[in-house]
């Protein structure tokens, strides 16, 4: 660990999947890092999670152990995303090919999925215990001047000091509130979508619905859609239904509300036989989540002096591209690269170069590299759900397939190595 006079330390606020990726990447580069998590244990909201190959490549570049941990729990994929008309009364299971649209990601296993909690457990196991602090809910961050560390103040009355703070505390980010104040961008915005989520036993699902549940398939229809895909080594099926909500105000941010299965079934009563069979398998009570994002009031910058925002704290997107977590992993690699450059510059620089200037330049470089791409994903996710719930683009079937392919490949075909090079160049320009 680099603890010389010119070294710096980092506080990561938020111990979710993105925060732990950031911390592990920094620790791998010998940058002292501590994670402050507000809850009593590390936990993730939601069930299934998919990563394109580019995100797994970024994991490996952050720390090969991360990719190894992911590989151990990942369920293989067909290498494509598939959509079907869920509203048709035809039994699509009787077709030779049940899906109407397909976008290929690049080959087998190019979009593996996992269970969120399993991934989080694997990440926690990789971090040194002394780097993880629980029950630390952030209240404020005080900048005490150019020659002092930032002071983190927690709700329990304790404090911590750090040269750099990275807010990875999700869509309800307290760090975002601290740096933005009471501006509209400080708060998440309702996307007018409600989700219903459940995990089904694969054996029971196959027995009731058929082999169609063994692979990913999204069912499209008016005002709603359902996505299904295997997780937990193909032992379970993740089912997520999304329904448009015209109300101006949504339910609680980041919190689930238990609803009766009958409420969900009523929404999909007129849908096709496969969708009705899936809904019938749901448990008697289903978790309902209002979906929030940062679409209406995007941040003008992710860099605030020595404070950075990453993941959903910076660019919370609705989940309709399945890209939120992978964007956070890319953020982590960019931040690790920029801060490693800052650490190197301090070791090699003349005495006039200060830690404050170096780390601020690293954070500005991160913002310059990441903001355009991540905010495009936020916007594109809103476009995607409109397409899903109108059963196609204005150009009909061909238009739907073409547009979804272009949008998906913009996410999947990202040049992460180019991002690393761009980050290094941006840091040296910012100095």
Q: Which residue do the tokens 């549940």 mark?
A: 213
Model confidence at 113, pLDDT cuts 50, 70, 90, reads confident
Q: Are 250 and 292 in contact (CB under 8 A)?
A: yes
Q: Which CATH number describes the domain made up of 191-293?
A: 3.30.9.30
* Residue of 226, 212, 241 whose CA lies nearest to 92: 212
Q: Which two tokens stand for residue 264?
A: 């969900």
391 pLDDT more than 60: no
pLDDT at residue 186 greater than cutoff 60: yes
309: left (phi over 0), alpha (psi -120 to 50) or beta: beta
Tally Cβ neighbours within 10 Å of residue 405. 15
**10-76+112-188+296-430 matches 191-293 in fold:** no
And the tokens for 230? 């295997």
What pLDDT is attached to residue 230? 83
- Reduce the DSSP state of residue 289 to 3 states and report it: strand
pLDDT in tens, 20-67: 999 999 999 999 999 999 998 887 666 678 899 999 999 999 999 999
| CA 60 vs CA 45, 56, 162, 245, 338: distances in Å | 24, 6, 27, 39, 17
**Confidence label for 2 from pLDDT (cuts 50, 70 and 90):** low
pLDDT(330) > 50:
yes
What is the arithmetic mean of pLDDT over 88-117? 82
Catalytic residues: 197
Q: At what angle do helices 416-430 and 355-388 cross, to 10 degrees?
A: 140
* Residue 352 confidence (pLDDT): 46
* Inter-residue contact 191 to 295 (CB < 8 Å): yes
Residue 182's CB: how many other CB atoms inside 10 A? 7
pLDDT average, residue stretch 227-236 = 85
* Residue 270: partners with Cβ closer than 8 Å, 6 or more residues away: 87
Cα radius of gyration (the chain): 22
Predicted local confidence at residue 313, as pLDDT: 99
Query: 172: exposed, middle or buried (C-beta count within 10 Å: 0-12, 13-18, 19+)?
Result: middle
- Domain regions of the chain by residue span: 10-76+112-188+296-430, 191-293
Query: What does the pLDDT read at residue 45?
Result: 64
pLDDT over 70 percentage in the chain: 93
In angstroms, the CA 120 to CA 159 distance is 26
Q: What integer best gives the mean pLDDT of the chain?
A: 91
CA distance 332 to 330: 5
Determine the Cα–Cα distance for residues 418 and 404; give it in Å rounded to an integer.
Answer: 24
Q: Is the pLDDT of residue 421 over 50?
A: yes
* Rounded Cα–Cα distance for residues 6 and 152 (Å): 21
CATH hierarchy code of domain 10-76+112-188+296-430: 3.50.50.60
pTM: 0.92
């Amino acid at each position: 660990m680099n603890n010389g006079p010119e070294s710096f330390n980092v506080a990561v606020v938020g111990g979710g999947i993105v925060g732990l990726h950031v911390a592990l990447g920094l620790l791998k580069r010998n940058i002292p890092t501590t994670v402050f998590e507000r809850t009593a244990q590390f936990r993730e909201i939601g069930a299934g999670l998919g990563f394109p190959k580019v995100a797994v490549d970024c994991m490996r570049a952050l720390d090969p152990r991360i990719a190894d941990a992911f590989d151990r729990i990942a369920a293989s994929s067909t290498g494509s995303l598939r959509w079907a008309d869920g509203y048709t009364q035809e039994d699509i299971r009787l077709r030779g090919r049940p899906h109407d649209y397909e976008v290929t990601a690049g080959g087998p296993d190019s979009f593996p999925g996992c269970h969120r909690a399993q991934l989080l457990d694997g990440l926690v196991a990789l971090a040194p215990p002394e780097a993880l602090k629980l029950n630390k809910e952030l209240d404020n961050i005080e900048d005490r001047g150019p020659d002092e560390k930032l002071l983190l103040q927690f709700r329990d009355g304790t404090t911590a000091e750090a040269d750099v703070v990275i807010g990875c505390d999700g869509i309800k980010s307290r760090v975002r509130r601290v740096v933005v104040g009471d501006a509209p961008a400080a708060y998440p915005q309702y996307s007018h979508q409600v989700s219903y989520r459940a995990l089904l036993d694969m054996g029971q699902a196959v027995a009731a619905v058929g082999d169609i549940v063994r692979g990913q398939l999204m069912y499209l229809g008016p005002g709603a859609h359902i996505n299904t895909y295997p997780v937990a080594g193909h032992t379970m099926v993740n089912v997520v239904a999304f329904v448009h909500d015209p109300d101006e105000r949504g339910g609680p941010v980041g919190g689930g509300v238990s609803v009766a299965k009958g409420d969900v079934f009523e929404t999909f009563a007129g849908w096709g036989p496969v969708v009705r069979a899936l809904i019938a398998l749901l448990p008697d009570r289903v978790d309902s989540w209002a979906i929030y994002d940062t679409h209406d009031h995007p941040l003008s910058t992710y860099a605030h002096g020595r404070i950075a925002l990453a993941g959903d704290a910076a660019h919370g997107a609705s989940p309709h591209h399945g890209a939120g977590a992978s964007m956070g992993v890319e953020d982590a690699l960019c931040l690790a690269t920029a801060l490693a450059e800052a650490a190197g510059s301090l070791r090699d620089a003349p005495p006039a170069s200060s830690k404050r200037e170096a780390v601020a330049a690293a954070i500005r470089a991160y913002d310059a590299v990441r903001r355009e791409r991540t905010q495009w994903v936020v916007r594109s996710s809103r476009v995607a759900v409109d397409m899903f719930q109108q059963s196609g683009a204005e150009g009909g079937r061909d238009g739907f397939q073409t547009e979804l392919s272009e949008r998906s490949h913009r996410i999947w075909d990202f040049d992460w190595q180019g991002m690393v090079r761009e980050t290094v160049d941006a840091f040296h320009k910012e100095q």
